[in-house]
Structure 1
Amino acid sequence: MNKFDLFYEEISKRYLDIIHINLSPSSSFRYRCEFGYKHNSYTMYDNQKNILYLKNFKYAANSIQKVMPDLLFEINRSLDLKDKLFQINFRSNDLNKIMVTLIYHKNISNKLIDLVKSLSKLLNINIILRSKNFINFTSSKFLESTIDEYKVYQTDNCFYQPNKYLLNKMITKVKQMIEFPNDLLELYCGIGTFTLPLSKYFNQILATESNREANKCLIKALEKNQIKNIHPARISSDEVVMLFDGKKFNRMHGKSLSSFNFSHVLVDPPRSGLTKEVIQILKEFKNIIYISCNPKTYFRDVDLLKEYKINKIEIFDQFPNTEHIEIVSLLSLR
């Protein structure tokens, strides 16, 4: 059985309506790619853990594919650029701007910084230079994108939804799931991919995220977009549980849970899913928007939320030709 048949077989135990599948083109869909560097090539591993040596990558966005061979050529013809280089990461955006991160296992010299500046100008890309306890960037540490009409920001080491074709469809689907909104609690909000577009629908949003870089990106976006009803808090999901138990956090910046009238909670956890403690606080809400990148942990968590039914659900083929599926769903009290 393919991944969709496997998903239907499992979901049919919990949901009987037809589920729409949002497909992606099978190439040129990735806004974000990470590679090793070895033997004058980009490297990555296949499913059997065999190392692959690449000059280009057909799944990367066209803007990334365009620059990959030129960047590799320039690196390979410079002993200083290639020495102790072990990782090359790419990010792109809706305007086809490119951010490249070069990561080294050595101290960074002024000569290397100058070479990277020249390389940045030659290829018209922003390059971030990293080694242990060191970072340097040729223009900015932030890559700016547009979601709906909102400016959003990412750095080279925070999460960003990878599929350029499905991102806006996922956001639209979440917006369509909202009925009778008051305030929203969001866990794992990241850089605000869903938070910012949802600010039009809710009176207030408490947006929680433990990653420092993602939190800085969200704050920068709030300032740029002049949004006042989103309250970012750099706290983890475990700390949100403590918050509901009455613990005070300075990182709440004076806001208390009692100042919110939550109608919805949105969770977008890592592949490991939700902890039992987080699941317990979700039971305080009438509506749970659950976004998942792992059907196995999604079904596990939904089964622990026995008081809720799956009200709406769609799946998104974020990574074509792989076993991965992204789920966007609304759980409502029975």
Structure 2
Amino acid sequence: MTSTYQQQLDAKVARITAQFSNYDPPSLEVFSSAEHNFRMRAEFRIWHTEDDMFYAMFERDADNQKQVIRIDEFPIADKSINALMPVLLNELKATEILSKRLFEVHFLATLKGEMLVSLVYRCPLNAEWEIAAKALSDKLNIKIYGRSRGQRVILTDDYVVEELQVFDQSYQYKQIESSFTQPNARVCQKMLEWACNAAKQSDKDLLELYCGNGNFTLPLSKHFNRVLATELAKSSVYAAQWNIEKNNIDNIQVARLSAEEFTQAYNGEREFRRLEEAEIDIASYDFDTVFVDPPRAGIDDDTLTLLQRFERIIYISCNPDTLHDNLQQLAQTHKITQFALFDQFPYTHHVESGVLLEKI
């Protein structure tokens, strides 16, 4: 695996450079990943045999049939996950109530050393399970969270608190078990610093669409007078608000709106009680920059039209194909002045990229 990493990264660089050449971007900035131990999340099936059980994944053979692959170690996962995997498995095997009908194990680690383990079952979880799981949680000094169909058992927390360093400041983030977080924390720090450099320093306001748990929102807030961030998922809005308060930041408001809904509100086409309840006055903002980190499907046409009204657009993308498509419209009014590739997902075809667009 180590011998091929640079070759795979070089192939991604060549692919992205060629794909976006028609927009005449500046030279691509490349932010590489560590070759090992870069993932802070790992999810495994638990495979049961007559006298054993083990972590498993699946891959398809030449006939497109699923084959069970036993996983004893997982080099791409963080060292803390690899260290815990065999210890946890042995403890689960030794306790029948914890191993019976266990279906999956999910690990969520942090750079600061916290660990949340989600145990997913195909049977109800009872009081006996809770006692055994709590004892294991205390013994291994980890958080354990139980799930089965229609049931969630939170022994202590269903989240970890990550700490990311951006230049000379650290930020704390609540990362909830079932919510999206960047899996490669060290590359995420590079993305945050790149976005802050692209933002420079403004005496005006920032609009952020698709803010998630506030991953970019927190460090970007230092570079603007005020920030209005939007996100539709309730769990992400809750986490973003927790993160804002935890980091003692006072110039961010979060609106629970989709990008499409914000466009309607900004254009005066529709009123939203959610804005009134949150005491958010869109008209009071003086935006000069918009930051977007949309889902893989990209940005809808009406929101793209809205983006074209701002002086600067910072666009982080997890799908270069939809970014390329969106640029067909954005390039009519803006020019790419910075272009970056972040290798969040080594050994896969996935690429995270970023562009700074400035009005022509």
Range class of TM-score, shorter chain: over 0.9
Cα 1:311/1:16, change in 2 over 3 Å: closer
User: Counterpart of 2:82 in 1: which secondary structure?
Assistant: helix
Matches within 5 A, 1:73-84: 73-84=90-101
CA contact (8 A) 2:26 2:338 kept: no
The corresponding residue for 1:229 is: 251
In the other structure, the counterpart of 1:176 is: 197
> Any stretches of 5+ residues in structure 1 without a counterpart?
none
Which one-letter code corresponds to 1:42 in the other structure? Y
Q: Greater shift after overlay, 84-93 or 310-319?
A: 84-93
Equivalence for 2:3? none
Greater mean deviation of Cα atoms: 87-96 or 290-299: 87-96
Task: Give, in whole Å, the separation in 1 of the partners of 2:315 and 2:57.
Answer: 31
CA distance in 1, matches of 2:272, 2:265: 8
Are the equivalent residues in 1 in contact too, given 2:107–2:117 (CA < 8 A)?
A: yes
Matches of 1:92 and 1:231 in 2, distance apart?
28
Aligned match of 2:346 in 320, 323, 330? 320
Equivalent position of 1:162 in the other structure: 183
Aligned residues: CA RMSD: 1.8
CA pair 42-82 structure 1, distance change in 2 beyond 3 A: same
Gaps of 5+ in 2: 1-9
Does residue 28 (structure 1) correspond to residue 54 (structure 2)? The answer is: no
- TM-superposed CA distance for 1:105, in Å, is 2.5
Distance 1:269 1:333 in 2: 21
Q: Verify: 1:42 aligned to 2:55, yes or no.
A: yes
Task: Tell me what 1:192 maps to.
Answer: 214
Distance 2:60 2:208 in 1: 34
Alignment-mate amino acid for residue 298 of structure 2: G
Question: Rg: which structure is higher?
Answer: 2
The equivalent of 1:109 in structure 2 is: 126
User: Partner amino acid for 1:97?
Assistant: E
Specify whether residues 239 and 6 from structure 1 end up closer, same or farther in structure 2 by C-alpha distance, changes over 3 A only: same
Q: What is the aligned-residue identity percentage?
A: 34
- SS at the partner of 1:159? coil
CA gap of 1:103–1:285, structure 2 versus 1, over 3 A, is same
CA distance in 2, matches of 1:258, 1:179: 24
Cα distance change of structure 1 residues 47 and 280 upon mapping to structure 2, 3 Å threshold: farther
Aligned-partner Cα distance in 1 for 2:79–2:267 = 48
The correspondence for 1:64, drawn from 78, 81, 89, is: 81
Count of aligned residue pairs for this structure pair: 334
Residues in 1 aligned to 2:328 and 2:93: alpha-carbon distance in whole angstroms: 53
Q: Which moved more, 1:247-256 or 1:41-50?
A: 41-50
- CA drift of 1:311 comes to 1.1
Answer yes or no: is the 8 Å Cα contact 1:85–1:102 preserved in 2: yes
In structure 2, what is the Cα distance between the partners aligned to 1:146 and 1:179?
23
Change in CA separation of 1:200 and 1:88 when aligned onto 2, cut-off 3 Å: same
SS in 2 for 1:332: strand
CA contact (8 A) 2:201 2:223 kept: no
Can you list the C-alpha shifts for 1:185-211, whole angstroms capped at 9, x where unaligned?
111111111101111111111111112
The answer to whether residue 95 in structure 2 is matched with residue 91 in structure 1 is: no
Question: Could you tell me how far 1:301 is from its partner in structure 2?
Answer: 0.8
1:152 aligns with 2:165: no
Instruction: Summarize the Cα distance change of 1:147–1:273 in structure 2 as closer, same or farther, 3 Å threshold.
Output: same
Measure the CA separation in 2 of the matches of 1:47 and 1:224: 45
- Matched residue of 1:200: which SS? helix
Residue 205 of structure 1 contacts residue 230 of structure 1 at CA under 8 Å; is this kept in 2? yes
- What is the CA–CA distance in structure 2 between the aligned matches of 1:258 and 1:165, rounded to whole Å? 37
Which residue of 2 is the match for residue 299 of structure 1? 324
Secondary structure of the corresponding residue to residue 177 of structure 1: helix
Matched, 1:310 2:336: yes
8 A contact 1:158–1:211 mirrored in 2: no
Name the SS for the 2:185 alignment partner.
coil
Question: Take 1:35 and 1:212, find their aligned partners in 2: how far apart are those partners?
Answer: 27
| 41-50 vs 206-215, which moves further | 41-50
Amino acid at match of 2:171: Y
Once the two structures are TM-superposed, the CA of residue 157 in structure 1 deviates from its matched residue by 0.9
Residues 1:242 and 1:17: Cα distance change in structure 2 (over 3 Å): closer
Cα deviations across residues 31-70 of structure 1 (Å, max 9, x unaligned)? Answer: 1122222222222334766442212211111111110111
**CA shift for structure 1 position 241:** 2.3
The residue number in structure 2 matching 1:3 is: 12
Contact 1:55 1:72 in 2 (8 A): no
Q: Structure 2: how far apart are the matches of 1:22 and 1:58?
A: 20
> Hey, what's the Cα distance between the residues in 2 that align with 1:132 and 1:220?
28
Q: CA deviation at 1:289?
A: 0.6
